[in-house]
Structure 1
Amino acid sequence: MRIVFLILISLTLYANNILTNYRINGITNVQKQMDFELTKDKYWSEYIKNIDTRFGYLESNLKILTCNKNKSTLNLYVKDSTNSYILQKEYSAFTGEIKGDKTEEGDLITPIGIYKILKTLTKENKLDSFYGPLAFVTSYPNTYDIYRGKNGHGIWIHGLPSKEKRDSFTKGCIAIDNQNIKALHNNIDIQNTILIIDSNEVKKNISKNILSSILSELFIWRYAWLYDDIDGYLNFYSNEFVRHDGMTLERFKKYKSRIFRKQEEKTIIFNNINVIPYPNSKNIYQITFKESYKSDTFKFLGDKVLIVKIDKNNKIKIITEK
């Protein structure tokens, strides 16, 4: 009871401090104070302590497809009523003939990475019968693929030919039998499903300490951006940084410095945040979120992707973004 009492006192004092700040300085100062609170590791550690983070920190994905290429399986995980990811189905799958990670068109390799499902193809879309009754189009090449110079296209999850034989491998796609591809279609919404492909088992039970540090760092980056701290903002960018459109770090610094000099009042809100360790890599994470940005001269509402490298102190360095 004593601990509960002390916590209640602490919360009351904190609320009173906010009210006093608001009474004296107005809402803008309170907002800045709250934005600063979001940068603290302590807040994020407490926030995620009871969240299922076996695949990372996920706000917007209710279902996850994982592909183990060596085991030739495609697994479907679904959030249950307790918001835990439960294995719903394991499918036998065909993958590319050649092992490793895809780098170029025609190399017969299934890529390793994190992908969205962009759309569904059926016979109504003139899908060739070789791919079975339907196919899911993935987002290969993604932002990190492009950063690393990968090329190629047309990586799908699809069915099997109904009237002809096929090899026991694909040219780079993931193929499951036709009954299963139909069942999968009925069991997922492509808007809230991601695909994670790895050579072996997809990483699970991700460290909450690392995730809370990354989330804290993400909001420190946002705080610097929001309050025009150009040095603090640019310090998050790696010397290896190249933007998705090819903009180098030096050009990016000049571009951002011009914008920051305007000293515009702005709002920056992040929703649907996902932080996932990148398969087959060390200390690389993909961060995605829905960004709402509004200033006097510019507005943006859309998807944002950051690929970050984590150092030994769990600090992030952005190596590419879109």
Structure 2
Amino acid sequence: MMQDPISSKICWRKLIQIFCAWTLFCAPVLSAAKTVHQKIKDPTVQTPPLGKIPRVIAELSPQTKFAFVVDKALRTLSLWKNAQVPSLFAAYPTDMGRKPGNKLYRGDYKTPEGIYFFQETFTQPYLDFSLYGRRAFTMNYPNYFDLLQNKTGSGIWLHAIPDTQSLNRGSKGCVVVRNNVIEKLKKYIQLKNTPIVVQDKVDYIPPKEWSQQNHSLNQWLAEWKKAWESKNLEEYISYYSEDFKSLGMNKTKWKKYKDELNSKYKFIRVELENTDILKHNDQYIFRFQQKYQSDENQDFGEKYLYVKSVDGKLKILSEQWRALPSAKSTSEKTPTVLASGRKKDDPS
């Protein structure tokens, strides 16, 4: 049967009208989507100066293979590999809090500046992909120094964003990189160990100056240890700040406590190993493994010294200690473990 030519023309006319209507409706949408995609442009990575080292990384122990440094001024996250002198391993553009400056309180949309350590990691389905991408690593904000300054807030992460989001959008305070970058970085992060130091503007120094800083800080630590082992109480306590607090004791009570232990033990031996030294402005964290031995007790654990430069001299603000799995003690009783992780009756 032959098709009616008039009906055929009407049918084609309707098809053309439908196509034109679809084009008029969809073309602007597609054009807008293309325009949005074209506008997404990441900050240009500003590679740290060749042959220089961030002052903030004063020393990395053999157990700390890598350290992260965020330079807000350069909008760059750099990864530094542990070596005789730390060396630049990689650098990536990064986003941060949408408001400039150091974080002070919850909801100020600023990225905190200081010395932090990665704690946990989250992946799908526990993350909102549109906000945090494929993966996030939590940081221990607020740290000890932040708490001293009454800073508030939490949930500061290193996380990713999808390619449809801009690295210029500004975060609520987190450090942000691309999905492909965080997948590269995950292999270099050891939870509870790898540090990340965030600064408004990082000071990069030549190897000779870095070595001088390294020597000076290690010498200070060795002299503190020597004063402790020799039971020279006045010399030992001179390393502590007037604002010192630890285990519920201030400096006066700490001195009395140490005096009692000096009288109790015939000898004290202390060995320090695997030392990390990190710096942020006048703040320092000394982290090391400590072997302690006296004629009545011995233990092995990880110690943090929170130190501040006061009038050009380093002073200890606090100590934290926790037993490591291989710790051995001659004491038959089970010691009380405080919130800090340190044993209540621990002589160290």
Q: TM-score, normalised by structure 2?
A: 0.66
Asked whether the 8 Å contact 1:147–1:320 carries over to 2, the reply is no
Aligned match of 1:301 = 301
Aligned match of 2:196 = 195
Asked whether the 8 Å contact 1:287–1:308 carries over to 2, the reply is no
SS in 2 for 1:176: strand
Q: CA deviation at 1:265?
A: 3.0
Asked whether the 8 Å contact 1:307–1:321 carries over to 2, the reply is no
Aligned match of 1:176 = 177
Q: CA deviation at 1:153?
A: 1.7
In structure 2, do the counterparts of structure 1 residues 254 and 203 end up closer, same or farther at CA, with 3 Å as the change threshold?
A: farther
Aligned match of 2:32 = none
Q: Deviations over 1:110-131 (max 9, x none)?
A: 111111112221126x233331
> How far, CA to CA, are the matches of 1:203 and 1:321 in structure 2?
29
In structure 2, do the counterparts of structure 1 residues 167 and 200 end up closer, same or farther at CA, with 3 Å as the change threshold?
A: closer
Question: Mapping of 1:285-296 within 5 angstroms?
Answer: 285-295=284-294, 296=296
> How far, CA to CA, are the matches of 1:173 and 1:321 in structure 2?
28
Rg larger for: 2
> How far, CA to CA, are the matches of 2:89 and 2:167 in structure 1?
28
The answer on 1:138 being equivalent to 2:139 is: yes
Q: CA deviation at 1:234?
A: 0.6
Asked whether the 8 Å contact 2:305–2:316 carries over to 1, the reply is no
In structure 2, do the counterparts of structure 1 residues 270 and 151 end up closer, same or farther at CA, with 3 Å as the change threshold?
A: farther
Q: CA deviation at 1:249?
A: 2.0
1:306 partner amino acid:
Y
Q: CA deviation at 1:92?
A: 1.5
Q: CA deviation at 1:171?
A: 1.0
In structure 2, do the counterparts of structure 1 residues 90 and 166 end up closer, same or farther at CA, with 3 Å as the change threshold?
A: closer
Flag structure 2 segments of 5+ consecutive residues without an equivalent.
1-52, 321-348
Question: Mapping of 1:1-322 within 5 angstroms?
Answer: 55-60=57-62, 61-79=64-82, 83-123=84-124, 126-129=126-129, 130-161=131-162, 168-190=169-191, 193-205=194-206, 206-243=209-246, 247-278=249-280, 281-282=281-282, 284-295=283-294, 296-297=296-297, 299-309=299-309, 311-312=311-312, 315-322=313-320
Q: CA deviation at 1:139?
A: 1.8
SS in 1 for 2:245: coil
Instruction: Tell me whether 126-135 or 186-195 shows the greater mean CA deviation.
Output: 186-195
Asked whether the 8 Å contact 1:271–1:291 carries over to 2, the reply is yes
By percentage of residues, which structure has more helix?
1
> How far, CA to CA, are the matches of 1:180 and 1:169 in structure 2?
18
In structure 2, do the counterparts of structure 1 residues 214 and 319 end up closer, same or farther at CA, with 3 Å as the change threshold?
A: same
Q: TM-score, normalised by structure 1?
A: 0.71
Asked whether the 8 Å contact 2:118–2:189 carries over to 1, the reply is no
> How far, CA to CA, are the matches of 2:248 and 2:145 in structure 1?
12
Q: Identity of paired residues, percent? A: 28
Q: CA deviation at 1:161?
A: 4.8
Asked whether the 8 Å contact 1:68–1:202 carries over to 2, the reply is no
Aligned match of 2:339 = none
Asked whether the 8 Å contact 1:308–1:320 carries over to 2, the reply is no
> How far, CA to CA, are the matches of 2:187 and 2:199 in structure 1?
25
Flag structure 1 segments of 5+ consecutive residues without an equivalent.
1-51
In structure 2, do the counterparts of structure 1 residues 97 and 79 end up closer, same or farther at CA, with 3 Å as the change threshold?
A: same
Asked whether the 8 Å contact 2:272–2:288 carries over to 1, the reply is yes
1:286 partner amino acid:
I
Asked whether the 8 Å contact 2:245–2:317 carries over to 1, the reply is yes
Q: CA RMSD in A?
A: 2.8
- How many residues matched? 262
In structure 2, do the counterparts of structure 1 residues 310 and 59 end up closer, same or farther at CA, with 3 Å as the change threshold?
A: farther
SS in 1 for 2:151: coil
SS in 1 for 2:100: coil
> How far, CA to CA, are the matches of 2:76 and 2:210 in structure 1?
25
> How far, CA to CA, are the matches of 2:114 and 2:54 in structure 1?
18
Q: CA deviation at 1:288?
A: 1.6
> How far, CA to CA, are the matches of 2:92 and 2:168 in structure 1?
18
In structure 2, do the counterparts of structure 1 residues 73 and 290 end up closer, same or farther at CA, with 3 Å as the change threshold?
A: same
Q: CA deviation at 1:62?
A: 2.0
